[in-house]
Structure 1
Amino acid sequence: MRILLVGAGLSGAVIARALAEAGHRATVIDARAHIAGNCHTERDAETGVLVHVYGPHIFHTDDEGVWAYVNRHARFRPYRNRVKSTAQGAVYSLPINLHTINQFFGRTMRPDEARRFIEAQADTSIADPRTFEEQALRFVGPDLYRAFFKGYTEKQWGCSPADLPASILKRLPVRFNYDDNYFFHRFQGMPEDGYTPVVASILDHPGIDVHLDTPFVSDMAARHDHVFWSGPLDGYFGYDLGRLGYRSLTFERFRATGDWQGCAVMNYGDPDVPFTRITEHKHFAPWETHEGSVLYREYSKACGADDTPYYPIRLVREKALLSQYVARAAGTGNVTFVGRLGTYRYLDMDVTIREALNAADAFLHAVQANARPPVFSADPA
């Protein structure tokens, strides 16, 4: 069969590889001039630093199969994400851990003491937190909430934490030990030469053709037996019901000599600092040595028509519009919507790969059974 994959990021590449290995002909197109989507990496010409062009991506997973998959396409070096935060005139480690708690409150508590102390700070009257703010107040109390979450969240999402669902904060743990590893998954690492060579290796198959600088036009679908769409779900329909809401990012890139901030990621929780964080990219490859440094200041903003969509908002209005687009998608013929944009969900890289593998498998089984392939790689709801 002739399969068209719109988007040369992880979803498109993984599905194309699986279908090509099964004997189908896969054509991958991307409107950008490069592969790998938002995890694209490239060398800075002046410093030689490996730069995460669309912001840092750190691979972490408990999925042993996905970990084995990516390691077949690159050498992954051990990497631990240790985030710092500048707040109220001091630097702390995140996620909130025993060191953060003791430093912030000027104490020397043991784990059991700190647990009781934070419980005393917390608003235990909130039995079932429904908003981001309630979740924070229930589990860390007002002081830590204001220092590390309130201002940062207002900048990141452009609205009050009281208007955001509690599920967003559930991604951030509180630890009563001195573990400052941001993630808790078994497998964590960085590809030695960046993510773009990983995707290039996945796409390296005689059954795959890749065409960059090639936007999708509607008559392309008629020339293929099936389309896998990893672009915005609403974009497939020309946004005719309205645009789904996203937050986007603006990067202020600058160079420095030596080590500018001493860590890869420095958050800024104070509301009077306009950016959310500064990332220093040479620290994402600590096995390399560079005299120069490349850094990004990140500013969050509403996503306009010409901006890159990063984070789906998924509040009440967006969910209502999403349900309309899902209904529209159900009426399409030969299209499967995949990935972060195609299913309007926040996805880590490992989940993206797993869902892509599952989508390819489901397609192959449907073809074998002479049945209609699934419309979505995963339920957008």
Structure 2
Amino acid sequence: MNILLVGAGLSGAIIGRTLAEAGHNITIIDGRDHIGGNCHTERDAETNVMVHVYGPHIFHTDDEEVWNYVNSFTTFMPYKNRVKTTSQGQVFSLPINLHTINQYYNKTLRPAEARDFIENEIADKSITDPQTFEEQAMRFVGPDLYKAFFEGYTIKQWGCSPTELPASILKRLPVRFNYDDNYFFHKFQGMPENGYTPMIEAILDHENITVHLETWFDPDTAGEYDHVFYSGPLDGYFGYKLGRLGYRTLDFEKFTDKGDYQGCAVMNYGDREVPYTRITEHKHFSPWEEHEGTVCYKEFSRACEPEDIPYYPIRQVKEKALLSDYVKLAEETGGVTFVGRLGTYRYLDMDVTIREAMDTAAAFLESAAKGEKMPAFVQNPL
């Protein structure tokens, strides 16, 4: 079959590769001038540091099949994400761990003592059924740690009060009663040795795949293909005719320096009066390399406008109502399957994106073998 994939990021590349290996003719288009979507990496011209152009992407997963898949296209180097935060005039370790607790409260608690201290002296036990982000944080870490590490950062990141965000954002609040400061807890963690873009280039390197960059999708051309996989914005496919789904976007203020600017890859800024949410220093994402110079990004979060790159789906009540309407439209369309972060309006880590792309390709091959129609969504956005 002749199949069109809209978007040359992880979803499009992996679905395209799997279907190409099955003998289908694959055309991939992308409006940008590079492949890789928001995972795109490139060397900084001034310092030669590998830069994550759209913000850092750290690979972590418990899915061994996904881990083996990406490692078949590139070499992954060991990498542990150790985040620091500047708050109230001090630097602390995140996620909240035993060092954070002892430092903040000027104590020398052992694990059991710290657990008892937080639960019985600090946490707000009057909250029995947390409904909001703020209630969830107050219940599990109390007002001090909430204000130091979550309140200001969350307001800057989401542009609204934590009382307006659902508790589900913090349902798996990472609080560790040991000195483990590895931000993630997954079995497999690492970074591609030469960046994500060469990895995706390798995935796309197949005789049945043709890639066209700086090419925008026209829905009127969908009928020229046997099937379309669309990883652009769901509402954009329909020309935003029901309205726009809400996103947050990021602005980056890039600067260079000599040596080591901040001593870590990610420094959060929890105080509300600091306008940016964090500074990322990209040389630390490739600790196996040595560079005299350094490249840093200050990150600023704001509401996404029509010409901006959408990053984080908001998914509050009004967005979910609109999403429901778009899902219905999509299911009535036929001939197109919506995939990825934008196509399903869900925040997805890279490993989940890859897993869903693998599953979507498998579902298509199975449907084709049975002569059945492919659904609009393999993963329900609702």
In the alignment, what sits opposite 1:196? 197
Q: Find the aligned partners of 1:127 and 1:170 in 2 and give their Cα distance.
A: 14
Q: Describe how 1:20-39 pairs up with structure 2 within 5 A.
A: 20-39=20-39
Q: Which amino acid aligns with 2:320?
A: K
Please list every run of 5 or more consecutive structure 2 residues that lacks an aligned counterpart in the other structure. none
**CA shift at 1:162, angstroms?**
0.5
CA drift of 1:223 comes to 1.2
Structure 2 distance, partners of 1:377, 1:339, is 10
Residue 222 of structure 1 deviates from its aligned partner by: 1.6
Distance 1:130 1:68 in 2: 39
Cα deviation, 1:275-333, whole Å, max 9, x if unaligned, reads: 00000000000000000000000000000000000000000000000000000001011
- Distance in 2 (alpha carbons) for counterparts of 1:172 and 1:25: 45
What's the counterpart of residue 118 of structure 2?
118
Q: Distance in 1 between matches of 2:272 and 2:349?
A: 27
- Matched ranges for 1:47-62 at <5 A: 47-62=47-62
> 2:232 aligns to what?
231
Task: Describe the superposition over 1:31-62 as per-residue Cα deviations: whole angstroms up to 9, x where unpaired.
Answer: 00000000000000110000000000000000
Distance apart, 1:166 and its partner CA = 1.0
Superposed, which structure 2 residues align to 1:212-223 within 5 Å?
212-223=213-224
CA distance in 2, matches of 1:242, 1:115: 47
Aligned to 2:76: 76
Question: How far 1:170 moved relative to its partner?
Answer: 2.8
CA distance in 2, matches of 1:222, 1:244: 26
Cα pair 1:9 1:36 within 8 Å, conserved: yes
Superposition map of 1:159-174 within 5 A: 159-174=160-175
Q: Deviations along 1:252-281, whole A, 9 cap, x unmatched? A: 000011000000000000000000000000
Counterpart mapping for 1:261-272 below 5 A: 261-272=262-273
Q: Residue 82 of structure 1: CA displacement? A: 0.1
DSSP 3-state at the match of 1:228: strand
Q: Which residue pairs with 1:374 in the alignment?
A: 375
After TM superposition, the runs of 4+ consecutive aligned structure 1 residues lying more than 6 A away are: none
The correspondence of residues 222-261 of structure 1 with structure 2, limited to 5 A, is 222-261=223-262
Find the counterpart in structure 2 of residue 290 from structure 1: 291
| Aligned residues of 1:356 and 1:377 also touching (Cα < 8 A) | no
| TM-score between both structures, scaled by the size of structure 1 | 0.99
- Conserved? CA contact 2:58–2:81, under 8 Å: yes
The answer to which of 61-70 and 217-226 deviates more is 217-226
- Aligned-partner Cα distance in 2 for 1:322–1:60: 29
Shift of 1:359: 0.4
Q: 2-side partners of 1:166 and 1:29: how far apart?
A: 38
Q: 1:8 corresponds to which letter in structure 2?
A: A
* 2:171 aligned counterpart, secondary structure: helix
Matches within 5 A, 1:74-223: 74-120=74-120, 121-223=122-224
Compute the RMSD of aligned alpha carbons: 0.6
Partner of 2:338: 337
Give the aligned partner of residue 19 of structure 1.
Answer: 19
Equivalent pair of 2:331/2:375 in contact (CA under 8 Å): no
Percentage identity across aligned positions?
A: 72
Q: What is aligned with 2:2? A: 2
CA contact (8 A) 1:59 1:188 kept: yes
TM-score, normalised to structure 2's length? 0.99
Amino acid at match of 1:110: R
* Matched-pair contact (CA < 8 Å) for 1:339–1:377: no
Secondary structure of the 1:296 match is strand
Amino acid at match of 2:332: G
What secondary structure is seen at the aligned counterpart in 2 of 1:211? strand
Q: Match for 1:95: what amino acid?
A: P
- After superposition, what is the alpha-carbon deviation per residue over 1:203-252, rounded to whole angstroms, capped at 9, x for unaligned? 00001000000010123212111000000000000000000000000000
Contact 2:77 2:192 in 1 (8 A): yes
Q: Distance in 1 between the 2:172 and 2:183 partners? A: 10
In the aligned structure 2, how far is the partner of 1:169 from the partner of 1:280? 26
1:330 counterpart letter in structure 2 = E
Task: Kindly state the Cα deviation for residue 171 of structure 1 after the two structures are TM-superposed.
Answer: 4.5
CA distance in 1: counterparts of 2:212 and 2:173, whole angstroms: 39
- SS of the equivalent of 2:318 reads helix
Q: Are 2:351 and 1:355 equivalent residues in the alignment? A: no
Instruction: Give structure 1 stretches of 5+ with no counterpart.
Output: none
Please tell me whether residue 42 in structure 1 is matched to residue 42 in structure 2: yes
Distance across 1 between alignment mates of 2:157 and 2:201: 32
SS of equivalent residue, structure 1 residue 167:
helix
The one-letter code sitting in structure 1 at the alignment partner of 2:285 is F
Task: Label 1:172 to 1:51 Cα distance change in 2 as closer, same or farther (>3 A).
Answer: farther
Offset, 1:377: 2.7
Paired residues of 1:31 and 1:212 also in contact (CA < 8 A):
yes
